Homo-oligomer: A and B are copies of this chain.
Amino acid sequence: METDRRDQNVVLVVSAPSGGGKTSICRAFLKAYPDVYFSVSSTTRAPRPGEVDGRDYRFISREAFRKNIEQGEFLEWEENFGHYYGTPREEVEGKLRQGRDVLFDVDPRGGRRIRDYFPRGVFIFILPPSLEVLEERLSQRGSEDRDALKRRISRALDEIQEALWYDYVIFNEDLKTSIDAMKAVYVAEKIRVGRQEKRLSPFLRR
Contacts and interface: CB of A to CB of B under 8 A. Distances in A.
A120 to B, nearest CB: 14
Interface residues of A, number: 35
Interface in A68-88: none
24 contacts: A125-B193, A127-B203, A134-B203, A157-B203, A160-B204, A161-B204, A163-B203, A164-B204, A167-B193, A168-B192, A168-B193, A169-B191, A169-B192, A169-B196, A169-B200, A170-B191, A180-B187, A181-B187, A181-B191, A184-B184, A184-B185, A184-B186, A184-B188, A188-B189
Interface of A: 125, 127, 130-131, 134, 157, 160-161, 163-164, 166-171, 180-181, 183-189, 191-193, 196, 199-200, 202-205
